[in-house]
Structure 1
Amino acid sequence: MKITWRRVVEDDFPLLREWLQQPHVARWWNHETSPEAVARDFGASARGEEPSEDFLALLDERPIGLMQRCKMADYPEYQDELGPVAEVPAGAVSIDYLIGDPGLTGRGVGPEMIRSILDRTWTDFPDATCVIVPVSAHNRASWRALEKAGFKRIAVGEMEPDNPIDDRLHYVYRIDRP
């Protein structure tokens, strides 16, 4: 399985909206899915006005998922929330991800997407020291994908959940530059 990547563009917003409405995604992303909300939440990155990056994961040229990537230093409020739970070293990067097609979940696609973006991250960001990902402790599929991709759990603590139905318990995963 070979995952390739391309930046999200505004023409992708209807696809992102469709994915965000899928029950397996909506449970953990808890996003508004109106066309206006998707444009609001993904537009600045698509236009290059924000330092975070949104990528479509492609399998045989077909979009299958979304990967968000950012340098932690570009988002001090994120670092401030994570800091009491786990050390955030200089050069840390974070990712977030989803598989849009429910038929591709539970088939090893998630860990492959994560491994692929890691390879690209080490190349794209020569100063990146590690990738750190906080995950709701209840999102087993997500944290298991991180483990299968080589991440280690480094901390357990309370953070604001993406979905208000969840409690604050999060696992924090990290992988260092090889």
Structure 2
Amino acid sequence: MITWRRLAEHDFPLLQSWLKQPHVSRWWNHETSTEAVARDFGPAARGEEPSEDLLVHLDGSPIGLVQRCRLSDYPAYLAELAALVEVPHGAMTIDYLIGEPVHVGRGLGPQMIHSVVHATWSDHPDASCLLVPVTVANRASWRALEKAGLRRVAEGEMTPDNPVDGRVHYLYRGDRPSTPGRAPACQPPVSPSGPR
């Protein structure tokens, strides 16, 4: 079962170890010193930042992180997305990682994304949709979004997280279900035993 809770400061050593993993550092390109992790994740953990850092668990064991925020809380980021597509009022976004290599390639990314997207509609009643940009080079990430039921709605240039990547990104969207309990734009993920 996929569950999550807010990332706390006592989780920082675990997060720091994940950020050092080659499969994470390649795309997140984040400083991994103790000071940098505290600087960048501390404000959200203490409730001083409007974003949410969610420590995701599988059957009680931590497997990854999902960051979730309202785009309106980050005007520069909102403007970058708005250059590619119309951004509805109430739009949110997510970012995500699977921490340990042993969990990569098992279909957990789509499950994690789908679970958080589905919960977003009740956690944030004013959320209209989710818009998620992914660099074209990160095929595993955008395939995870597709398997989680989001659809590609745009392609264009954005600043990459890692300077080694090109500026071209795909933009994915998941909409709030029009009928309670039904999510046409975010169907359940493909089974981990299904095609990759």
Structure 2 match to 1:149: 148
Structure 1 Cα separation of the partners of residues 158 and 2 of structure 2: 31
Shift of the alpha carbon at 1:60? 1.2
TM-score by structure 2 length? 0.89
SS at match of 2:12: helix
Structure 2 match to 1:174: 173
Structure 1 Cα separation of the partners of residues 32 and 77 of structure 2: 23
Shift of the alpha carbon at 1:101? 1.0
Q: Does 1:9 find its partner at 2:45?
A: no
Structure 2 Cα separation of the partners of residues 149 and 174 of structure 1: 11
Shift of the alpha carbon at 1:87? 1.5
Structure 1 match to 2:72: 73
Structure 1 segments of 4+ aligned residues over 2 angstroms from their partners? none
Structure 1 match to 2:133: 134
Q: Which moved more, 1:22-31 or 1:99-108?
A: 99-108
Shift of the alpha carbon at 1:6? 0.5
SS at match of 1:58: strand
Could you give the per-residue CA deviations for residues 12-61 of structure 1, whole angstroms, max 9, x where no partner exists?
00001000000000000000000000000100000000000001000111
Aligned 1:5-154 pairs, distance under 5 A: 5-154=4-153
Equivalent residue letter for 1:97: Y
Structure 2 Cα separation of the partners of residues 123 and 74 of structure 1: 19
Shift of the alpha carbon at 1:120? 1.3
SS at match of 2:88: coil
Structure 1, unaligned stretches of length 5 or more? Answer: none
SS at match of 1:171: strand
SS at match of 1:86: coil
Count of aligned residue pairs for this structure pair: 177
Structure 1 Cα separation of the partners of residues 171 and 84 of structure 2: 8
Could you give the per-residue CA deviations for residues 50-82 of structure 1, whole angstroms, max 9, x where no partner exists?
000001000111110000000111111110111
SS at match of 1:32: coil
Structure 2, unaligned stretches of length 5 or more? Answer: 178-196
Structure 2 Cα separation of the partners of residues 56 and 96 of structure 1: 12
SS at match of 1:69: strand
TM-score by structure 1 length? 0.98
Structure 1 Cα separation of the partners of residues 3 and 147 of structure 2: 19
Could you give the per-residue CA deviations for residues 71-127 of structure 1, whole angstroms, max 9, x where no partner exists?
111111110111111211101010000000111111110000001101210011111
